Amino acid sequence: MKQKILVTGGTGYIGSHTTVELQNSGYDVVIVDNLSNSRIDVLDGIEKITGIRPEFEQFDLADQDMTDLFFKKQTDISAIIHFAAFKAVGESVENPLKYYRNNLFSLINLLECMTRYSTACLVFSSSCTVYGQPEILPVNENAPVQPAISPYGNTKQVSEEIIRDTLFVSGKLRAISLRYFNPVGAHPSSLIGELPIGVPNNLVPVITQTAIGIREQLKVFGSDYNTPDGSCIRDYIDVVDLAKAHVIAVKRLLEQKNRQALEFFNLGTGKGVSVFEVISTFEKATGVKVNYTVTGRRAGDVEQVWADTRLANSELGWKATTSLSETLRSAWNWEVYYRKYLEKSR
């Protein structure tokens, strides 16, 4: 019999790609999402790619009663991948309690239900933001967690602590916290991808929206950093590569191959790329020019960060394989496909 995985936030960007990979690997998926930052038609895309429509329930995991009711009904969940969370850094500074309520209450409710209903395995969606500006690059999992710059970042740090403390007393629960670097790109089918609602904050959606003419100009936030070309450096990881790591993490927990109750893994490519390099790689990969200008630094940006991926490579047997050109091409193809789709469905 197939094992069933609960994917919270499964209609979101990384959640939808992970659902595809789970289904392609023979797992059943039930998605819980309140659709606060995603669309229901993402399920159509998942179904077109995999031939399977995942089970779906729409409710807010920050609601304790609804979450309990869900677990009461769903008695066959083997593991949980918890993506559901708000993720806009700027908004979290404006409205911290919205972020603390949503991101922390949902995790607490899940952990309580895991204990109550004997679901042992959790994969948590964390971020390289926990490292702040690391002193040593590439940064590995033993680097100190730095004071968070934003409430969003703090929810990731506190969530990791909540998981650690809960596991310490439970004796039964097992978890893997996956620290993502910068997820970009879309499924090669162009049937699912990133769907920023409103003005995007992240670099790649701004590039694709500028290239297609929705935005007039990309603003490069600072060219006076202490980096070879003066712009910030990040580790851009293809979303399908990232999704595959979740399937491996789930399997590791289910087969009890984890060495400790709580493990941390960096998910990146191991390569640092500057903002200017992303723009030029995009232009070469797609043949489309991006209109950009350099402006001042963005508050809260770290100068440079990229991952030491050796632990994920050796322990998970996982490696990012998609080139940046390929992933930026997939982001562009998705942008083109999605704009056409929106026009048709108007």
If one asks whether residue 203 binds ligand UFG (CB under 6 A), the answer comes out as yes
Per-residue interface string for the shown chain with ligand UFG, residues 81-100, x marking contact by CB under 6 A? ------x-x-----------
Q: Rule CB under 6 A: is residue 10 a binding residue for ligand UFG?
A: no
Specify the stretch interacting with ligand UFG by CB under 6 A; choose among 50-58, 60-68, 123-131, 259-267: 123-131
Closest by CA to 264, choosing from 319, 312, 304, is 312
Compute CA 192 distance to the chain's CA centroid, rounded to the nearest angstrom: 14
Active site (annotated) includes residue 100: no
Nearer to ligand UFG, 130 or 163 (CB): 130
For residues 27-54, one letter each, b for 16 or more C-beta atoms within 10 angstroms of the residue's C-beta and e for the rest, the string is bbbbbbbbeebbeeebbebbeebbeeeb
If the CB atoms of residues 64 and 201 are measured against ligand UFG, the closer one turns out to be 201
- The stretch near ligand UFG (CB under 6 A) out of 66-74, 90-98, 110-118, 201-209 is 201-209
Q: Across-strand partners of 122?
A: 80, 175
**Which one among 79, 148, 220, 328 touches ligand UFG, defined by CB under 6 A?**
220
Residues numbered 253-292 forming contacts with ligand UFG, rule: CB under 6 A: 275
Count CA atoms closer than 13 A to 200's CA, side-chain side: 19
11 burial via Cβ count (<10 Å: 0-12, 13-18, 19+) = buried
Q: Which of 166, 182, 190, 309 binds ligand UFG (CB under 6 A)?
A: 182
Footprint of ligand UFG on 127-146 (CB under 6 A): 127-129
Q: Is 45 in the site for ligand UFG (CB under 6 A)?
A: no
Q: β-strand 55-57 against 28-32: which pairing, if any?
A: parallel
Among 6-14, 171-179, 248-256, 294-302, the segment contacting ligand UFG (CB under 6 A): 294-302
- Any contact of residue 312 with ligand UFG (CB under 6 A)? no
CA distances from 90 to 13, 96, 132, 201, 316 (A): 19, 10, 16, 8, 33
Check binding of 234 to ligand UFG (CB under 6 A): yes
Classified as helix, coil or strand, 83 is coil
List of E strands, 212-295: 218-221, 233-234, 236-238, 262-267, 273-274, 292-295
Q: Angle at Cα 26 formed by Cα 22 and Cα 27, nearest 5°? A: 55
Query: Residue 131 and residue 109: Cα distance in Å, rounded?
Result: 26
The least CB distance from residue 299 to ligand UFG, in Å, is: 10
Q: Is 239 in the site for ligand UFG (CB under 6 A)?
A: no
Contact status: 209 vs ligand UFG (CB under 6 A): no
**CB of 285 within 8 A of CB of 332?**
yes
Which of 13, 152, 180, 338 is the catalytic position? 152
Phi and psi based region of residue 275 (left: phi greater than 0; alpha: psi -120 to 50; beta: remaining): alpha
Q: Which is nearer to ligand UFG, 179 or 252 (CB)?
A: 179
Dist. CA 329–CA 143, nearest whole Å: 33
The closest residue (CB) to ligand UFG is 232
> Considering the complex, what minimum distance in angstroms separates the CB of residue 225 from ligand UFG?
8
The verdict on 232 binding ligand UFG (CB under 6 A) reads yes
Give the binding site for ligand UFG (CB under 6 A): 87, 89, 127-129, 152-153, 182, 201-203, 206, 218-221, 232, 234, 275, 298, 301-302
Active-site residues: which are they?
152
